[in-house]
Amino acid sequence: MYVVTGTSVLSSVMVLSNTATYAAAWYNANGTVTVRGSDVSGNSAATEGGGLYNLVGALTLYRTSLNSNTAGSGAGLYNNGGTAVLQANRIYANRATVNGGGLLNASEGYSLAARITWCTQTRQTVAVQRISTPGHTGKQHLVR
């Protein structure tokens, strides 16, 4: 899915086994995307955003599973300058070769993660790679 400056609401969607250079499953560029009760699994990006890539957009994930996605960085979710709100999601078994197995928050991106189940995110041989922010310029708020 590719969203540019639009609004999309998706419920009970399965996005499986896609490949791309970046943003294998969903790409949001300055749009507003809400995903509820969905499964984003087994997607692979050569560079960023195996599952989701949010570029200066507003992304809300609720009760959604990001699992078994792969990418160079941000295998589950790559948030670049956008706002990502994650609530009651399962983020597991994502693999990044560089940074951010589960989620990478880049640039001046902002993410809010609440009630997330994290399991086995990997970056090469690192056992757990939950949230990564290169240069510490992004902002994350983790709420349990």
Q: pLDDT digits over 63-84, tens only?
A: 999 999 999 999 999 988 888 8
Region label for 88, one of left (φ > 0), alpha (ψ between -120 and 50) or beta (otherwise):
left
DSSP 8-state code for residue 134: G
Give the tens place of pLDDT for each residue, 31-45. 999 999 999 999 999
The 83-87 sheet, strands edge to edge: 7-11, 32-36, 58-62, 83-87, 110-114, 139-143
The answer to whether residue 16 scores a pLDDT higher than 80 is yes
Q: What pLDDT was estimated at residue 70? A: 95
Q: Note whether 133 and 79 are within 8 A (CB).
A: no
The answer to whether residue 143 scores a pLDDT higher than 80 is no
Q: What pLDDT was estimated at residue 106? A: 82
pLDDT band at 113 (very low <50, low <70, confident <90, very high): low
The answer to whether residue 118 scores a pLDDT higher than 80 is no
Q: What pLDDT was estimated at residue 100? A: 83
Q: Which two tokens stand for residue 99?
A: 């940074």
Q: What pLDDT was estimated at residue 48? A: 95
CA distance 131 to 2: 24
Q: What pLDDT was estimated at residue 58? A: 92
The DSSP annotation for 44-85 comes to EESSB-SSEEEESSEEEEES-EEES-EEEE-SSEEEESSEEE
Task: Determine whether 4 is exposed, middle or buried from the number of CB atoms within 10 Å of its CB (0-12, 13-18, 19+).
Answer: exposed
Q: Which two tokens stand for residue 120?
A: 């086995």
Strand 52-55 to 77-80 pairing? parallel
3-state secondary structure of 10: strand
* pLDDT over 90, % of the chain: 51
Global pTM value: 0.81
